[in-house]
Amino acid sequence: MKLTFIRHGSTQWNKEKRAQGSSDIPLDKEGREDAEKLAERLETEKWDALFSSPLQRAKQTADIISRKVGLHIKFDPRLREAGGGQIEGTTEEERVGKWGENWRSLELGMEKPESVVKRSLSFMEDLAEENAPGVNIIVVSHGGVISYLLRELDPDNIKVEHMKNTSVTEVVLKEGKWVCDRFNCTLHLEK
């Protein structure tokens, strides 16, 4: 089984470096254009299923992919971005101004990484149980979710790195263990 994780296309808040979390922000023009390039890349392979976070930016990315690969989108709330609590919609400068340099150590209602990992692992376990070996599945989600999950699945190979918009990350289930074969790839944007 191969899962191809896609981070959604860019949004205006990405460009403004605002924490998005579970805020339902749409793709911007560049995000839609990049999602089209990504869809053209994915169109050349055979896919068995397409899952997406229900948040608008992921849904719009999945819609573009769906049209190219010919699959119906299955939405799963476990794929939504980590909740940002009070920091959603703010920039780093605004957070420091409001809560100080150590804002990350404060209880501001942000979803804990352990919670994100737990729900995304639940999604992965369900996929493994419900699908036959050898299937190829596209999963459109968010940078935080993908990063936390990959570091849990393949800690020897995955380090902390910013997930690029429309990046392709592939994990393969081999002998009961998920292994990352491709990480944070955006070759489709270089054309």
8 is in an annotated binding site: yes
Burial of 26: CB neighbours in 10 Å, binned 0-12, 13-18, 19+ = middle
Select which of 8, 36, 88, 152 is catalytic: 8
- Active site includes 43? no
12 is in an annotated binding site: yes
CA distance 115 to 111: 7
184 is in an annotated binding site: no
> In residues, how long is the chain?
191
Select which of 33, 45, 81, 162 is catalytic: 81
23 closest CA partner among 14, 33, 35: 14
7 is in an annotated binding site: yes
57 is in an annotated binding site: yes
CA distance 109 to 185: 32
188 is in an annotated binding site: no
31 is in an annotated binding site: no
Q: Which long-range contacts (CB under 8 A, 24 or more apart) does 88-94 make?
A: 88/18, 88/19, 88/20, 88/21, 88/22, 88/23, 89/13, 89/18, 89/19, 89/23, 90/18, 90/19, 91/16, 91/17, 91/18, 91/19, 92/17
- Active site includes 81? yes
Q: Which two tokens stand for residue 3?
A: 């899962």
In the annotated binding site, the residues are: 7-14, 57
List, by residue number, the catalytic residues.
Answer: 8, 81
In the annotated binding site for substrate, the residues are: 7-14, 57
